[in-house]
């Protein structure tokens, strides 16, 4: 490729980015990719809607039991901590899009790394403080639920395993999305290190950002439904 700028020795990737051949221009490609990602996000929402539908129906069936199970098995403080972590990471991801639009490479890198670290914190809290103790205590979904081993006053209801089924499946699928998000954010950071993103080309930052916000959005609904009400 010939250089676009006569002064610098080698132009940066994002300055000379040329769209793929079948697109007409970079803008079309950017908008097309974004529309594609939005459609993908609709599929994600509909995927999670299955979990929400299951939750709604089963909660309707076991009205009081679900509330009791929620406050007994789940610690809202851990849930709230994770909510805060995800919200902050959402903010930093939005900031990283802004940084690439303004060509602030350092800020871009820092924001991407903070977001990835937040994702890791979320997963560590989830695994270490929720999944781990739950597996030890036998607070498992469905047939794996251990009725024995409950110290104190609490008498498990037969619908507790159903609540835990929804809890485990929904948070596990969500956690898997967080994991993918962290990998994508690290990939972005790696590319940002090679100065791939700038005002003229930041498609990947924008789109991974959208995905990460969706992961956050799902948690915004899962948190109150599972931990609070």
Partner 1 sequence: MNATAHTQPHEDPTHHHIASFRSLFVILVILLIMTALTVYTAKFVDLGEMGNLILAMFIACFKAILVCAIFMHLLHDKFLNTVALAVCLVLVVTFIGFTMIDMASRGALDPTREHFIAPPSMSEANINAAIEKRDAEHAAEGGHAADDDHGADAEHTEDDGHAADDGH
Partner 2 sequence: MSTTNATSTGNDSHGDGHHDVSYLHPKGPLWVTLWDWATTIDHKKIGVMYMFATTFMFFLGGVFALAVRAELFMPTQVNEAGEIVGQLFANNIYNRMFTLHGVVMVFLFIIPAIPAAFGNFLLPLMLGAKDVAFPRLNLLSWYVYLLGAGVAIIALLGGGIDTGWTFYTPYSITGTEMHRQVFLMTMGAFILGFSSIFTGLNFVVTVHKLRAPGMGWFDMPLFVWAIYATSLIQVLATPVLGITVLLLAIEQAFHVGIFDPALGGDPVLFMHFFWFYSHPAVYIMILPGMGIMSELIAVHARKRIFGYKAIAFSSLGIAAVSFIVWGHHLFTAQTAMANAIFSALTFFVAIPSAIKVFNWVATLYKSGIVFNTPMLYALGFMFTFTIGGVTGLFLATIATDINLHDTYFVVAHFHYVMMGGAGIALFGGMHHWWPKMFGKMYNEKAGIAGFIFVFIGFNTTFFIQFLMGSQGMPRRYATYVPEFTIYHQISTVGSWLLLIGFLIHLFNFIASLRNGKPAPRNPWGGLTLEWTTDAPPIEHNFHHEPVIHHGPYDFEDVVPPFCDEKDYPLPAPLKPSDKKH
Residues 44 to 63 in contact with partner 2, rule: CB under 8 A: 44-51, 53-54, 57-58, 61-62
Q: Is 1 in the site for partner 2 (CB under 8 A)?
A: yes
Contact status: 183 vs partner 1 (CB under 8 A):
no
The answer to whether the beta carbons of residues 109 and 83 sit under 8 Å apart is: no
Residue 131 binds what, of partner 2, partner 1, none (CB under 5 to 8 Å, by partner type)?
Answer: none
Rounded CA-CA distance 221/102 in Å is 33
Q: Using CB under 8 A, which of 145, 173, 179, 191 touches partner 1?
A: 145
Site for partner 1 in 54-83 (CB under 8 A): 56-57, 60-64, 67, 76, 80, 83
Smaller CB distance to partner 2: residue 37 or 108? Answer: 37
Residue 207 interacting partner from partner 1, partner 2, none (CB closer than 5 to 8 Å by kind): none
Binding pattern to partner 1, positions 6-35, x when CB under 8 A?
---------xx-x------xxx---x--xx
Q: Is 129 among the residues that bind partner 1 (CB under 8 A)? A: no
Under the binding rule (CB under 8 A), the answer on residue 38 touching partner 1 is yes
Q: Let me know: does 96 contact 115? Beta carbons within 8 Å.
A: yes
Residue 107 CA: distances (Å) to CA of 100, 103, 104, 110, 216: 8, 9, 6, 5, 22
Binding to partner 1 (CB under 8 A) within 152-171 occurs at 155-158, 161
Give the C-alpha separation, 222 to 229, whole Å: 11
Cα 19 → chain centroid: 29
- Rounded Cα distance between 2 and 173, Å, is 47
Q: Which residues pair with 198 in a beta bridge?
A: 201
Distances in Å between the Cα of 139 and the Cα atoms of 79, 163, 164, 181 are 17, 10, 7, 28
Task: Work out what residue 199 binds among partner 2, partner 1, none; the CB cut-off runs from 5 to 8 Å by kind.
Answer: partner 1
List the one residue from 146, 172, 193, 194 that touches partner 1 (CB under 8 A): 146
Structural Rg of the chain based on CA atoms:
22
Other residues' Cβ atoms within 10 Å of the Cβ of residue 216: 22
Residue 23 interacts, among partner 2, partner 1, none and using kind-specific CB cut-offs from 5 to 8 Å, with partner 2
Q: Rounded CA gap, 45 and 29, in Å?
A: 24
Q: Quick one: which of 215, 210, 205 has its CA closest to 177? A: 215
Which residues form the interface with partner 2 (CB under 8 A)? Answer: 1, 13, 18, 20-23, 28, 31-33, 35-36, 39-40, 42-51, 53-54, 57-58, 61-62, 141-144, 158-159, 161-162, 165-166, 168-169, 173
């Amino acid at each position: 490729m010939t250089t676009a700028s006569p002064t610098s020795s080698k132009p940066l990737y994002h300055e000379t980015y040329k769209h793929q051949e079948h697109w007409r221009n970079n803008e079309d490609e950017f908008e097309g990719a974004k529309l594609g990602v939005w459609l993908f996000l609709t599929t994600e929402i509909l995927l999670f809607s299955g979990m929400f539908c299951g939750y709604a129906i089963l909660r309707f069936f076991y009205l009081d039991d679900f509330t009791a199970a929620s406050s007994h098995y789940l610690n809202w403080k851990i849930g709230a901590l994770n909510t805060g972590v995800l919200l902050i990471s959402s903010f930093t991801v939005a900031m990283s899009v802004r940084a690439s639009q303004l060509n602030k490479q350092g800020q871009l890198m820092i924001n991407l790394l903070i977001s990835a670290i937040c994702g890791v914190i979320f997963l560590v809290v989830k695994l270490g403080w929720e999944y781990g103790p739950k597996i030890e205590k036998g607070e498992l979904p469905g047939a794996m639920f251990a009725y024995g081993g409950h110290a104190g006053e609490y008498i498990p209801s037969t619908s507790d395993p159903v609540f835990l089924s929804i809890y485990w499946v929904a948070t596990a699928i969500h956690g898997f999305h967080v994991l993918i998000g962290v990998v994508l954010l690290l990939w972005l950071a790696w590319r940002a290190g090679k100065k791939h993103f700038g005002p003229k080309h930041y498609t990947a930052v924008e789109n991974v950002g959208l995905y990460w916000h969706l992961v956050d959005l799902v948690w915004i609904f899962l948190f109150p439904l599972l931990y609070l009400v």
